[in-house]
């Protein structure tokens, strides 16, 4: 993997921290966009912290134009219990600025149950989606629609239940559309695995303008 210059939104979430840490370990130059710089407990000479609110389009523009980036990754996420769309609105700001100033490569972490993955997963995943995540997934639906309408080289990654296992596993599978019924999977994946896949896609043209599901293969 060649060294890249990457801008990460949502850098203080659990998955965002994995993204920042792994990107730095791989030798990339990283800019982390976050509302409160004190919440990021990572310090590195190749880490540049950009403070701002993704709902503020001028702040997003200042971040994206702060240097020539090779890719932008979004790990934005918030748990909501009402029909609002903070993630979709913030993502729209990112898309608008990228359309004008670049770069073209945009990788977004969404969620299983969003878009055309609704109903995917085992019974527990479907129950959680319906019972606890209906407004979160509504926001993600709007986010994905905005991404698909853009002219960027985007990839959407839809993980199922996320775990805090710090390891990156070599048995992760990625696929587009409904899962092959012959393939048995565990409907869980570590945040470290998701971050690893995002960074792999920065350097390779796999799954451009496609939404993929990621999960671990069942032994």
Q: Three-state SS across 141-169?
A: HHHHHHHHHCCCEEEEEECCEEECCCCCC
Q: Which residues face 35 on adjacent strands?
A: none
pLDDT score of 107: 98
Cα 211 versus chain centre, distance: 11
Taking CA atoms, 125 is separated from 8, 108, 216, in Å, by 27, 21, 14
Q: Report the mean per-residue pLDDT for the chain.
A: 95
Residue 150 has pLDDT above 70, yes or no: yes
pLDDT score of 57: 97
Residue 182 has pLDDT above 90, yes or no: no
pLDDT score of 10: 96
pLDDT score of 47: 98
Q: Which fold has domain 5-217?
A: Rossmann fold (3.40.50)
The percent helix, strand, coil of the chain (3-state, each to 5) is 35, 25, 40
Tell me the pLDDT tens digit for each residue of 189-205: 999 999 999 999 998 88
Residue 169 has pLDDT above 80, yes or no: yes
pLDDT score of 125: 87
Which SS3 state, helix, strand or coil, does residue 80 take?
A: coil
Residue 126 has pLDDT above 70, yes or no: yes
Which SS3 state, helix, strand or coil, does residue 136 take?
A: helix
Tell me the pLDDT tens digit for each residue of 64-91: 999 999 999 999 999 999 999 999 999 9
Q: Which residues face 72 on adjacent strands?
A: 7, 106
Report which of residues 205 and 52 the model is more confident about.
52
pLDDT tier at 62, thresholds 50, 70, 90:
very high
What pTM, to 2 d.p., does this model score?
A: 0.96
Structure tokens that stand for 38 in this block = 């004190």
CA–CA distance, 71 with 73 (Å, rounded to integer): 7
How does strand 172-176 pair with strand 210-217? antiparallel
pLDDT score of 1: 61
Residue 157 has pLDDT above 90, yes or no: yes
CB atoms within 10 A of CB 45: 7
């Amino acid at each position: 993997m060649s060294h890249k210059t990457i801008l990460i939104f949502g850098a203080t979430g659990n998955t965002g921290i994995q993204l920042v840490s792994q990107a730095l370990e791989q030798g990339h130059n990283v800019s982390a966009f976050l509302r409160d710089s004190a919440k990021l407990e990572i310090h590195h000479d190749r880490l540049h912290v950009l403070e701002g609110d993704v709902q503020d389009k001028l702040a997003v523009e200042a971040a994206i134009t702060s240097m020539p980036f090779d890719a932008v990754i979004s790990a934005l996420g918030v748990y909501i219990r009402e029909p609002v769309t903070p993630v979709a609105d913030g993502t729209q700001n990112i898309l608008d600025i990228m359309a004008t100033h670049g770069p073209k490569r945009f990788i977004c972490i969404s969620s299983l149950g969003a878009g055309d993955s609704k109903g995917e997963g085992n019974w527990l995943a479907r129950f959680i989606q319906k019972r606890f995540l209906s407004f979160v997934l509504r926001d993600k639906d709007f986010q994905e629609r905005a991404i698909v309408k853009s002219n960027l080289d985007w990839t959407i990654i839809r993980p199922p239940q996320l775990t805090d296992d710090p390891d990156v596993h070599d048995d992760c599978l990625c696929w587009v559309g409904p899962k092959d019924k012959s393939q048995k999977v565990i409907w869980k994946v570590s945040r470290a695995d998701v971050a690893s896949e995002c960074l792999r896609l920065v350097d390779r043209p796999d799954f451009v303008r496609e939404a993929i599901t990621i999960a671990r293969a069942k032994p």
